[in-house]
Every structure is written in structure tokens, then in C-alpha cells.
Amino acid sequence: MKKASFLLALTLLMAGCSNNDSTATITVVDQDIATEEVTEEVIEPVAEQVEPIAEPIVEEKEPVEKEIIVEKEERTKPMEIHVYSTEVPWDQSLAKLESDLAIEEGIEFSGINVALNSAIEGDTIIVHEGLYREVINLKKDNITIKAAEGEYVLVTGAESVTGFVPDETMPGVYMADVPDNYKETTLKFTQVFTDGHAQDMARYPNLTIDDMMAPLEEGGGYGKTIDLYKTKGEAEGHITFDKGNLPDVDLTGGIFRGLNGKNREYVFGTVVANEGNTISFTSTNRNEWGDATAEIKKGYHDYGFGFVTHKNLIDIPGEWFVQDRKLYIMPDGDIKEMAVDLQVRAQVLMINNRENITIEGINFVAGNVQMKGTENVKIDKCTFRNLQPFYMMNGYGMGDSSQTGLYIESGKNIVFTDTYIGETWGTGAYISGGSDNAFYNCRFEDMGWIGTFTAGVYSSGNNTHIEDCTFADHGRFQVRVDKDIKIDILHSSFERAMEMGEDAGPFEFTSTGKIAPLDLKGSEFAYNKIFDLHGVPVSSGNYNKQFVVAFYMEDVNNYTAHHNLVYDIRADSYDGPEKLTRDSRWLYLGPRYNSMHEPVNFYNNTAWDYGSSIGIWNIKIANFDELKAKGLKQVENTGMMTDGHFANNLFDEGDFSINYVAQNLTMTGGSTGWVTVPEDDWKDIATNDMDEFFEHAAKVDYMFNPETNMVFDDATGASNYIDAANGDYRLAEDSPAKNAGTPIEGITSSPNPDLGALEGSDYVLSAGSTLELPKFKEKIIR
């Protein structure tokens, strides 16, 4: 623009010395600036007067500058826009101040959102190495944002904290103001990082091992609790830590988190008093702990597990707490040499009501993702870490944690490839409605630290696709479905689910209480590995159990599971003195009170090293006639399976059972009480004899239609595999399962197929992601 001003002045000067027409047309040209005609009147010179006259007094006036506006033409041709960071803490030689950036011709910027504001549809924004403290908020369609080739780009929801001074009341603790843009109204709890490493919120017992979900281990940050009770008519609950010594400090206003009883009975509470090892708290939960009129007697929960968090509990390096807009931290080293960051933004990426967006090679930390009403999005080679801080909730269901990870609402054709999602208190990806969303070669890892219902992937969106993915270390479920959808899960690995709970598993499919089974619309689950599943124990009234299931398929039908490998499913991780039922199963079918008439197909699956084989919980609707009069659509008064197909499966020696009971129900499937029906007593069965089970099941309307399934006994069964102890479940050449199967069109590979998951090939052994994570350069090692 300076060049344009100079040309304009020069042209005006030349026009003033000309004897041409009384007007002149001036064309101002600047690169990428449209031409504009500017008309200026030219006054002819007047002859000088020679006769002497009195010189008038002329009042000096300020020169008047005429503003000449040169408008840019709207750009229509897409181009690359380059973004350079002003902060590269892991390589100071790359850092550039904004004033030093080569911001030329409007194609280089120091912020991603600044570039987005100047972008048009079709642009590609190339982001160069560095740290970007912002929320990427897409407000235009047809945009690509990608990291420059070979460069590490980190988008963070955190801001730097400086100005630390010693806290005189706590030796070794420093304090500083939190950033001005941290608003607790939108982010009640936060996360703190030193030199890129996540630090631990102060707690008792201390977390001293590198595992956020180890409530049964020494140093796991949880203590065993006893004497759990709440007096009727009082708002306060009480617990006592069984071992160790709770520090003699005031914990009023702190948070108690308890894993006590069934998941719906878990508690979040605000500490109102503490004495010795006993905590008194008021609960925020919509259960007996939060109901002042409810009573919880001593002994109802024989034991539980929990922790307390409070500023006064900072006592080991790395612990921190935020209170009264101050960050308190005990650094592990010299705080003057540390970069301390605190999360201030709830999201790091927002793509709402957009189409045709690509995000490639960007690393995100300290914030969630929101996509609503968005179509045709590709997320490729990205990472999302430390998405959700600690949080409190009133309920315990999936909806309470829906927006604590990647939240996708009414999204269509959103595809994640080669992407990592993990290290979070909340869920992974929550898909609410929409259709045709997919995950390829992704890792869902180390998530669900909060302990209540979370999942690697929850979906109520039709045609969800998961392939070549790894799910590892989850507090609860790894895939959760509770709506009528088609979902295909292929060649994926499921490791260590249920690290914070029980009565569920990595595959968690259920109608959640309605009277009608889920229709999975022909879903396929094939060539997956499920292993290393243990859970935690529960004490709740007469329910003292540790219960985990590989395939938890409660009242769902119209699906096929084939060539899946299941092993090491054992409820054996707790060695306390309490009496405990240990139940670990390969398959739980429900179906409770729901009659299933669509196919339930299990072909060529291998299951080894577990407790029980197949479990059915059948509920007869005792007040069926009453519900029919109110409009209940189900024709049958009990659960059943009329179109099952089980062939070529290999079982371990384990219990096959049907538990046949009766209840009065509400129209929505809620129980109003148990009913005794003596004439149905014969319908129960518990046996290790597979053939006996299938024959009995058919008599009570469970049609498995079994063909060429086989059971290996515990004592010698491992010899049927090449190396079961090390996960090689290829059949030994002398195994009776070789060439002993039934050919199934579209499933088996020969007229004489082997039994089990390795029929035809060892493809299932390679299940899981091959994703290699980048070096997270912000994690500075001192």
C-alpha cells in the first residue's frame, strides 16, 4: 500500500503541471489489488497580479488530507496459507516473534484462527512447527488444515503460568495466579503440565505409580474404604480409610471420589468434615448418597475404594491444586527452570455445521473436540491427549460423560485414520446420531479415569465402522451401543477393559431397559482379539461379586460374530479377605424379558482361559397381561432366542447357564419387584456339559442350532494350540479341531474348515492398530 500511495502522489503532481483536460483518471495498481478509477478536479493556473495591493491577513489553516480508499477484490482462487508459531519451546532456534514474521501478501500468519479468518473455501492452511494456544474453530467449508511436512505442531488448551512465589504455609509448595482467561464457570476443574508432562491433582492416598486406573494396587491413588454409611434423614455420608494415616489437615471443601457398590452407587462428594481416617461428605449424586431421606446401613457396602483431593494434601513432587484462583504446586525440580501450563479452554477443536474439512498431522492436548451437524470430515494422523480434566457428575450413565472427549452429534461421514485418542478422565469418541462414521488404524488408550460409564467409542449413529484399531486400558467399556444401529468391528484389539468397574466388558451392547431387543441390522464383528480382562470387586448388599464379560450382548440380535479370539478373561485381580463370587465369561446374552427373533450368529470363535462359557439371564414378565392392556407391543411374556446359530466355536471348560426368574415390570422395563413362579424352576440350568446345555436351552425357547462346536478341558486343552501361554492360538496339527468344522457360506474358507478363530489363516493374530506415535516434543526431559 505504500507503493500505491507513492504512485498516486506522483500522478497528482504530474497532473497539476499539465495543460491537458481539466480532469485526469488515475489507476492505482498494487499486487492482488483491483484497479479503481479515482477522479480529481484540476484547476487551471491564474495570471499573477502586478499592481500593488494591500496584503491581506491570511489565517493559516491545517492542510486537509483527502482519504483515498483502495478496495481489495475478494479472492476467489484457493491457495496455501502458511502459519508460523511464535512459540517453539522445544527448539528455541525455530521460535519467531510476531514482528519478525515474514507476513507478506497476506499468506503468512502467526495464528491458525487468524489464517482461518482470511481463508476462503478450498484453501489449505499449512501449519509450521510450534505451539499454538487457541481453539481451532472452523467456520467455513472446504478447508484443509495440515502440519507442514516433517514438522511437529501442537495445539493446546492450556496457558502459561508464571510469577511463582513460595507458599509460606507449605514447605516446598509454590503459588501463582491462574491465567486471566481461566473461567471456572465453563471449566470447573483443570489440568496442569510441567515441561509438557501432566501432573497429578493433590490426593490421598498418593498416586505414585504411572497408572491412573489401578485402584487395587499400592501407590494407585486409591485407598480401601470401610464403615460406609449414611443415617436416614441426614445429608452427610461417612467413610473411613482402612489403612494408612490420613494427614492431620483440614479437608473441608475437598472432593471425595468413591468406588463403592455397583456403578450407580459410586459417589462424588464435597468434604464437610474429617477426623482421623474418617471423611464426612455431602454427595452430588442422584442416588442414596445424595438423598437425605435414604439410609445406607453399615455393612451394606462391606468395603469400597476411594480418594480425597484438596490443596492441603499437596505433599509429594508433582502434585498441584487450584483454589481461589491460585495454582499451588510442589515442583519436581527448580520451578524457575520449568514451563508450567494450566488448561483454560474446554475445547481445542470445533467443527460445527461444516462440510468437507480435513485436519492432518495436528497434535492436540488439554481440551475436547466438538462436531455438531458436520459432514465429510477427515481426521488423519492426529493425536488427542489429556482431553478432559477431572469432573463431577450427578448420574453415572454414558450421557453424563458425552462431551468429555470427541463429541460428534448428527455427524455424517466423519472418518478418523491413523489417529491416537487417550490419556483422559472422560470418554474417547461419543457419536450421537448421524451415520457413516468410521475409525481406521486408530488407538484408543488410557481413558475413563473417572470410573463411571465411559467408552473408547460410544455410538448411536448408524453404519459405524471400526477397523484395525487398538483399544487398551479403559475404565469401563471399549465399545458401547444401546440403540438400533449397524456397527461393524473388524480386526481390532481389545485389551484391559473394565479397570474401574465390573458387570460389563469391552463389547458392551444393551437395550438399557426398554422392553424390546436391539436390532443391530446385520452388524459384523470379525477377526478381533479380546484379552486381559479382570475388573474390580463390588460389595452391595447381598451382591459381592467381581464379574466381567468379553462379549456383553444383552438383548441384542441381528448380528454375526466370527473368527474372534478371546482369552485371559479372569475375575482374579483382588485378594482381599472378603467372601467374593468371581465370574468371568466369554459370552453373556441376556436377553432378560426381551424376545429375540432376528439372527444371533457365532461362528469360528476361539475362547480360552476364562471362567464361564455362556450365560443367559431370562426374566418372565409376571404382570404381562396388565402391560398388554396398557399397550405393550411385545407378543411374548418372556425372553427367548428363536434364530441363533452357533457353529465351529472352540470353548474352554466352563459353566453354561440359564437363570430363569420372574419380575413385575413397568412399561419402560423397570422392575417393581420379584415374583416366585415355582412351575418355572425346571428352566434353570448350570452345567459344564455343552451338549446338555444346548438341548435344555431349546426346551425353553433358546435355539442355538449348534453345529460342530468343541470344548477343550482345562487340564490338557492348551496342547491343542501352538503356544497358548504366549497368545499363539493356531491349532496343533494333531488337534481334533483340525478339519472338523461345518462349511458356512461367506464365513469359512474350505469344505472341511478348522474350528476356531484361526480357520483359514492366522489373520486374527495381527488384530489391532499399527499406528506409530510421534515424538511429543513438548515433553522436555531435564
pLDDT in tens, 205-235: 999 999 999 999 999 999 999 999 999 999 9
pLDDT band at 40 (very low <50, low <70, confident <90, very high): very low
pLDDT value at residue 109: 75
768 alpha carbon, distance to own chain's centre: 18
In terms of Cα–Cα distance, which of 756, 742, 506 is closest to 652?
756
Residue 22 has pLDDT above 70, yes or no: no
Residue 480 has pLDDT above 60, yes or no: yes
Burial (CB count within 10 angstroms: exposed 0-12, middle 13-18, buried 19+), residue 336: exposed
Segment 163-201, tens digit of pLDDT: 999 999 999 999 999 999 999 999 999 999 999 999 999
> What's the average model confidence in pLDDT over 300-309?
97
Task: Give the chain's largest Cα–Cα span.
Answer: 136
Residue 15 has pLDDT above 50, yes or no: no
Residue 305 has pLDDT above 60, yes or no: yes
> What's the average model confidence in pLDDT over 300-308?
97
In terms of Cα–Cα distance, which of 114, 121, 105, 117 is closest to 85?
114
Name the pTM for this structure. 0.90
CA–CA gap between residue 614 and residue 709 (Å, rounded): 13
Amino acid, res. 109:
F
pLDDT band at 72 (very low <50, low <70, confident <90, very high): low
Given the C-alpha cell 418372556, which residue does it identify? 638
Extract the C-alpha cell encoding 569.
478373561
CA distances from 558 to 355, 563, 648, 702, 722 (A): 33, 17, 19, 15, 34
pLDDT band at 101 (very low <50, low <70, confident <90, very high): low
- Separation of first and last alpha carbons in the chain: 48
CA–CA gap between residue 19 and residue 91 (Å, rounded): 64
CA–CA gap between residue 698 and residue 96 (Å, rounded): 74
Report residue 312: phi and psi, to 5°: -70, 0
Given the C-alpha cell 470353548, which residue does it identify? 651
Taken in order 247, 252, 255, 261, the sign of the CA dihedral is positive
Among 108-117, 172-181, 475-484, 700-709, which stretch is predicted with the lowest mean pLDDT? Answer: 108-117
What size, in residues, is the chain?
782
Burial (CB count within 10 angstroms: exposed 0-12, middle 13-18, buried 19+), residue 781: exposed
DSSP assignment letter at 62: P
CA–CA gap between residue 364 and residue 344 (Å, rounded): 14
Share of the chain above pLDDT 90, in %: 86
pLDDT value at residue 653: 94
CA–CA gap between residue 85 and residue 132 (Å, rounded): 7
CA–CA gap between residue 319 and residue 202 (Å, rounded): 5
Mention every residue, 6+ apart, whose C-beta is less than 8 A from residue 93.
none
Residue 137 has pLDDT above 90, yes or no: yes
Mind spelling out the 3-state secondary structure of 487-515?
EEEECCEEECCCCCCCCECCEEEECCCCC
> What's the average model confidence in pLDDT over 747-763?
97
CA distances from 537 to 69, 534, 578, 584 (A): 75, 9, 10, 12
